[in-house]
Amino acid sequence: ALISLRQLLDHAAENSYGMPAFNVNNMEQIHAIMQAADEVDSPVILQGSAGARKYAGEPFLRHLVEAATEMYPHIPIVMHQDHGSDPGVCLRAIQSGFSSVMMDGSLLPDMKTPSDYEYNAGVTAKVVEMAHSGGVSVEGELGCLGSLETGEMGEEDGHGAEGKLDMDMLLTDPEEAAQFVKQTDVDALAIAIGTSHGAYKFTQKPTGQILRIDRVKEIHERIPDTHLVMHGSSSVPEDWLEIINNYGGDMGQTYGVPVEEIVEGIKHGVRKVNIDTDLRMASTGAVRKHLAENRSNFDPRKFLKEATAGMQAICKARFEAFGSAGMA
Ligand code: G3H
Ligand code: 13P
Ligand code: ZN
């Protein structure tokens, strides 16, 4: 059944677990997530970007999610709009039946230019008013995601990364977060603590702690009733990177967010963890490998099945690591 993000994350807070939120664009991704959730008895957050609705076509995306609720009636599902660029995008998601929307007012509608606080609070409050009157939850974002190493916004995130950010935007300020929540009444807040979108997050293999978990703690203490969200939380699996490059791919050396750091965040109020890149890499690696090893095959079901299996294994591992397994 479809439930709201607030309902699910309240349960996650009461039971001290975190929810992976996987991006979806097509049937195979939804199959992979639902099969893994069914196997370990986890609730699910399916999130679609505006780009996903454009890619699949709004009716197809809507019916794919409806198919998931019909096939798995025992699994609670949140259908969430990822990175709404303006209130109109959020309204269209609500009209499409989404039970939760993200108004990303940390950037202007071009999704490239950092906005100011007043703009962000204004558009977010507007979406909350509209969404809450229909029982739909809202996620806001305060701070800008970008590399603490270089000040660059993540690349290949579909946002058209451009330019450097001021370093003080790269970490969410706890006092400002408290003011933002009071002013907007958001259910969940995405925070900047050192993650960035896309595959190219860190150039060195992380040894010690790389995220500002101390900042998560401070923010959680100021706004304990607002569920914290980590974007850019793919772990960029080294095994899939190797498979991609061994079978004709050409990705650069790169490192993601260690799962243990996400688990640390979950201990301090993180309840939603956004993951897109990891599933993209598993499906690309599985397809490359299958086609290289089965050169005569021309039945897409054979390689798409491999892609589904690769994605499913990652989903299962995240449900287990974040503690949502057994919580459906
Ligand atoms: O943060 C963005 C997500 O990875 C979705 O990307 O806009 O290419 O669908 P997309
Ligand atoms: P990744 O690029 O790390 O998978 O992050 C996805 C995300 O934050 C979607 O909103
Ligand atoms: Zn994101």
Range of 57's domain? Answer: 5-235+254-276
Distances (CA, A) of 308 to 277, 312, 314: 15, 6, 10
Q: Are 280 and 307 in contact (CB under 8 A)?
A: no
Q: Is 249 within the bounds of a domain?
A: no
- Residues with Cβ within 8 Å of 171's Cβ and at least 6 positions away in sequence, in order, are 143, 148, 192, 193, 194, 212, 215
Taking CA atoms only, the protein residue closest to ligand 1 atom 8 is 158
Ligand 1, atom nearest to 232 Cα = 1
Closest approach atom of ligand 2 to CA 279:
4
How big is the chain, counted in residues?
328
Cβ < 6 Å from ligand 2: which residues? Answer: 23, 82-83, 157, 197-198, 231-234, 274-277
Residue 10 lies in a domain: yes
In whole angstroms, give the CA distance from residue 178 to residue 243. Answer: 44
User: Which listed ligand is nearest to 51 at the C-alpha?
Assistant: 1
Catalytic residues, which ones?
82
Ion ligand 3 residue ranges (Cβ < 5 Å): 231, 274
Cβ(231)–Cβ(190) below 8 Å: yes
pLDDT tens for the chain, 328 residues long, are 999 999 999 999 999 999 999 999 999 999 999 999 999 999 999 999 999 999 999 999 999 999 999 999 999 999 999 999 999 999 999 999 999 999 999 999 999 999 999 999 999 999 999 999 999 999 999 999 988 888 888 654 444 445 567 788 899 999 999 999 999 999 999 999 999 999 999 999 999 899 999 999 999 999 999 999 999 999 999 999 999 999 999 999 999 999 999 999 999 999 999 999 999 999 999 999 999 999 999 999 999 999 999 999 999 999 999 999 999 9
pLDDT for residue 158: 41
Residue 5: the pLDDT is: 98
Question: What pLDDT was estimated at residue 281?
Answer: 98
Q: How many CB atoms lie within 10 A of CB 144?
A: 20
Q: Specify the CATH number for the domain of residue 33.
A: 3.20.20.70
CA distances 112 to 77, 146, 163, 223, 308, Å, are 31, 12, 9, 28, 32
Given ligand 1 and candidates 197, 231, 257, which is best to mutate, with the most ligand atoms within 8 Å of its CB? 197
pLDDT of residue 155: 56
Specify which residues 81 forms β-bridges with: 48, 101
Q: What is the pLDDT of residue 168?
A: 83
Domain count, the chain: 1
Residue 326: inside a domain:
no
How far apart are the CA of 233 and the centre of ligand 2, in A? 6
Question: Residue 198 Cα, ligand 2 centroid: separation in angstroms?
Answer: 6
Q: What is the pLDDT of residue 163?
A: 59
pLDDT at residue 160 in the model: 43
Look at residue 246 and tell me if it is in a domain: no
Q: Ligand 2, closest atom to CA 236?
A: 3
In a domain, 313, yes or no: no
80 and 101 Cβ atoms separated by less than 8 Å = yes
| Residue 302 covered by a domain | no
The position carrying tokens 């962000």 is 120
Residue 159 lies in a domain: yes
Q: Does any domain span residue 192?
A: yes
Strands 188-191 and 19-23: unpaired
